[in-house]
Chain A
Amino acid sequence: MTAPRRMGLTGNEAVALAWKQLRPHVVAAYPITPATQIVERFSEYVAQGEVDTEFVPAESEHSALSACVGAAAAGARVLTATASQGLALMHEVLYIASGLRLPIVMNVANRALSAPINIHGDHSDTMGSRDAGWVQIYARNVQDAYDRTLLAVWVAERARLPVMVCLDGFTLTHSLEPVEVYPDEAVREFVGEAPPDGYTLLGGEPITVGPLALPDSYMEFRRALAAAMERVPRVLEEGVRAFRQQFGRKLPALVEARGTEDADVALVIMGSYADSAEQAALRGRVRGQRAGLVRVVTFRPFPAAALRETLAGARDVVVLERADTLSGLGGPLGVEVRAALYGLPQAPRVTDVIFGLGGRELRDAELDALLQGELPGGVVYLGVEGAHVLEPA
């Protein structure tokens, strides 16, 4: 194990560097804020001959992901990146990538959706893709974005499922942080030269990929896809073990818990605001409140068992999330946390806090005030002029 090199990198730079080290056969992508620099930086690597990837600068995100589908079906290692409207435009092809069991890895620079147009961070984009059959992993910081991008290729190629590695727009994509970068050879050793198995269009034998499946066979295909997703936690656990062995870093696979063992109030969050939430929990501890934090690392498949186990003892669960379902039930994470806790004897009360839409800052004072008062349950929009509480339908 060679020592890692410490570098100052933005989230986008760290992802581009991970891509270079992963040496994909094909990258097909389209620029969009705040993911653009991933593709820009990677194009420079290609132009300088630092990586021998076939770069397909597609004319849209729909075509970018379509090209990824073609390349992955040909047996290539394939990476792409997008955000927001770009991910929305890819929506149709997301389902095809997972349905064809193609191990494409995509970095998503999380950004709000139009209208009104907004280039800043929230999770509306990837939450809209949550049921597309992609594994979804949310990075906490730049190091995590780098590590998870490397890990995602290992996992995708073994689970035979596409993986999104999500990093918060601007708060991670454009923030410079110290990152421990592993030697190229170590990355090569970790992921190998090409996907270890799977089908290819280029093997010489006739193979029909993407056939028409009618009611007599379609459900079996979809059930097999669900089964593949059910196997992902195991693959992820193996992946983080292999990762630790290769690089010496221990990564949580599904959830990351801090101070939840004795917590009365457990915060649940995804992405880069985990740091702010952890600080809020620590401030709670200082005030004498037994507060803890659970970060959902892998949102798909949903870590229901891990959350039940971690949250069962809490009186209150406060879900902090940057997306809304607009269903009257709050945000998607809140809905699914409630579903995971349903049926527990003395299940915790869940307050679903929607914050940070379109890059709105999370203010410590607002969060502290919420945690110090009587938690209302239901849905809270935090930091909104004229904020109000919705009762669950």
Chain B
Amino acid sequence: MYIVVVGGGKVGYYLAKELLEAGHELVILEKNAGRARQISDELGSIVLNRDGCEGKHLAEAGANRAAIVAAVTGDDEDNLVVCQMAKHHFDVPRTIARVNNPRNEDLFKHLGVDEIISPTRMVLASIEQDIPVHELLHLAQLKGGEMELVEAQITDNSPAVGRKPTDINLPEGSSLFLLLRGNSVAQVRSDTVFQAGDKVLAVASGEGESILRRELIGDGEPVGAAG
């Protein structure tokens, strides 16, 4: 697969390295001459010392035959412009942008960037996982955001303690499916009895979420970062 990587910072460099090892064909566009030289010393002549935001440089890099253009500079505005140029000027089937300000994610999607990677969001999600928040933890969006994959932490005060899934009044369209207890992982069965300390993975729709939270975690005020 032919891939154009724009931005030869840490992300671009390691990305290129991994992709090369996986056998892909690629070029990196890096506008800083010193940095470009440094990368070609390490990885060989796969670097073009050019500004990837300019149409003619993307053309020179062969963007018109690229399967993917990945814009991974540290500047959101540059990453957006690269993806928009790639998409609309070179018909690149898949554009990927690094987004540093998580607030920009929606705008990027709206403007047609195919895939958005937000390191800030990832670190944030990871930190949130470590906070004992008595809330549903959002793990992933399904069906374009209609459904959410969530994790519920069952505590001593949860109404679900000592109950089976069949005793729980589940909202429509939701499903409990995986039980994480200690180091073991098991499917939630109709005879599973929930204990404090369990984590339950569930799928819920937007409006079903609050019911699911009440049934599994309880009505207590959520505590955590804000509390």
Does B bind A?
no
